[in-house]
Structure 1
């Protein structure tokens, strides 16, 4: 499979978390996520192929699941990518990616809408972009509120870069990230300095086939604030270099339609605050992929990054219609 190595077993892991803190065991650890993906591949061999886009700093596979009506073939259909868990503490996003996997596999035989989407597209899902940080965040009896990855910063005692400030388009350009290693928005020593962003970007690059990018649409899930965000993050301008008025209007239209289904607020990313080196700017600025960030439940700091596991089903199914709209825009 182009850009991804076939995955035959769970990757060795350092400091693997046994489970989530008491009361939140309904969330999935990295090992449990991998087991769910393996089960999906085993239960739906004609629809699902499990592979890896690369390794995290600590050696965990960055699992990617391909869903297609003829998964072994390259049919040239438009492709959609869903990524989750760039930020370690945002565990609800991993559950969102797992829900997408479950819906587009288990639902294929019984849901005509799901069948039509799978028959007409290739769907890629990467549930854990930052598995090292996620495992570290739950490695004790209480959450650590950890955001970054776990790669040590050269020449100091700090650990980790903010993966969603490490992407190569307009990296570090516009006061939308930090050059201080202690900062939660530390962008790393260079664009794509982190193995996780290197691996995912190589995978996206690999989907350029015959000079055409096959991935047409993308959502990167985060928590929290209940927002639908689109590029650019690095500038307050709606249009300009890399964004025409027509392109901006399409981003706005699709974003508002998706937000109309889940009750989120839709806006350009920089209307929230300026970011640089983020995944949406890179996806659009480099590949012209229709790329959004969803900031999931809740709207505010309670329960913040750690909603109880009882909320998982409600808050993942809440995005079903929005996901459908995005898939429909992949053409």
Structure 2
């Protein structure tokens, strides 16, 4: 990796969040998109930006009856800059302002997105850890500081699931925090998920390339056979789809997939994660972690990262596309 990283290809955090707000203007995507803030009741000064997408024809009244809920989280670790860039480009695709080829040609892809939004409400949290991303976007602080929040806590080790097994030392790059949900970044997202009850959760990360299901904190997949097989079927389809449509993006072979603890260049167990909490505590039966960019390019090198920012959102939409078929077959009903 070069000693000097080209960070100019990435948006500054404030500019990225402001772009979401501008997208929601009625003259652009306002009929399909609204932007709000998730407040933390214990720390009122903290909030997470959240963008909501659904069918424009029902926006003025209510979400479609029986619409499935999809929650996409980006930027849990600030140094994973490309994660939030994927969130922005994905939003532009959902608005029809950026082309997508996840369903073949751009016109067919736009039609497929419109079809999904008639049945699905998608909520995007583009930056879960704004503090550390602001450090990373200018190359400030140490690599560890760009991973942790303002209090030196890894927000993806702070969830109340196998939390006690996490790193207890404050100097650790994976410090779990003094107690579960000690951090506003996790509290705000957890409280929202418990109220909104998503059917699908995807935590979009970078540092490797794979698509994972629970569990991250133990060496096994879900014990529920229907959940395990359902997630494996979706991941298998997405892996094949991405490998076929984006062979240069994947390199050799299809996208690896399976339980999170079994994947990566050096597989390891991670406790206190959003992935496991959403599945085991919130009851999200389709819970995934999508690692979208390799470890050697956490910051991105030159034009390669810039090109892949444009391709990766189609990969995320491919996950939604395949899940939508799975969802339709299961016919979820909401009151």
| TM-score, length-scaled by structure 2 | 0.79
Rounded to whole Å, the distance in 2 between the matches of 1:141 and 1:189 is 26
1:1-331 alignment to 2 at 5 Å?
A: 23-42=6-25, 43-54=28-39, 59=45, 61-69=47-55, 70-72=58-60, 73-76=62-65, 77-106=67-96, 111-140=110-139, 144=143, 146-151=146-151, 160-173=152-165, 177-207=166-196, 213=197, 215-239=198-222, 243-262=223-242, 263-271=254-262, 272-289=267-284, 290-298=286-294, 300-301=295-296, 303-308=297-302, 309-311=305-307, 312-330=309-327, 331=332
* Residue 225 (structure 1) shift: 1.4
- Inter-partner Cα distance in structure 2 for 1:285 and 1:256: 22
Give the conservation status (yes or no) of the 8 Å contact 1:138–1:144. Answer: no
Residue-pair matches, total: 289
Separation of aligned partners in 1, 2:143 and 2:300? 11
SS at match of 1:172: helix
Shift of 1:59: 4.3
Q: Would you tell me which structure has more helix in proportion to its own residues?
A: 2
Judged with a 3 Å threshold, the aligned counterparts in structure 2 of structure 1 residues 198 and 139 are, in CA distance, closer, same or farther, namely: same
The alpha carbon displacement at 1:101 in A equals 0.8
CA offsets per residue over residues 265-284 of structure 1, 9 Å max, x none? Answer: 10201213211110111111
Cα drift, residue 167 of structure 1: 0.8
Contact 1:89 1:137 (C-alpha < 8 Å) held by counterparts: yes
107-116 or 33-42, larger mean C-alpha shift: 107-116
Deviations 1:254-301 (A, max 9, x none): 122222223321020121321111011111101221111111122x42
| Residues 135 and 141, structure 2, Cα contact 8 Å, conserved in 1 | no
Structure 2's unaligned 5+ residue stretches are: 99-105, 243-253
* Greater RCO, CA 8 A, separation 6+: 2
Give a deviation string over 1:214-247, Cα, whole Å, max 9, x none: x1112111112111111012221335xxx31222
Describe the SS at the equivalent of 2:191: helix
Would the alpha carbon gap of residues 90 and 41 (structure 1) be closer, same or farther in structure 2, given more than 3 Å must change?
Answer: same
Q: Which runs of 4+ in 1 moved over 6 A?
A: none
Deviation per CA, 1:152-195: give whole Å up to 9, x if none: xxxxxxxx11111111122224xxx3111111111111111100
Query: Contact 1:60 / 1:132 at 8 angstroms: preserved in 2?
Result: no
Contact 1:234 1:275 in 2 (8 A): yes
**Which consecutive unaligned segments of at least 5 residues does structure 1 have?**
1-20, 152-159, 208-212
CA distance in 2, matches of 1:57, 1:133: 18
**Cα 1:327–1:80, aligned 2, differ >3 Å: closer, same or farther?**
farther
1:14-65 Cα offsets, whole Å, 9 max, x none, are xxxxxxx874323111211122111111022221110011269794531000
Distance (Å, rounded) in 2 between the aligned partners of 1:288 and 1:307: 38
Q: SS in structure 2 opposite 1:226?
A: strand
TM-score, length of structure 1 as denominator length: 0.80
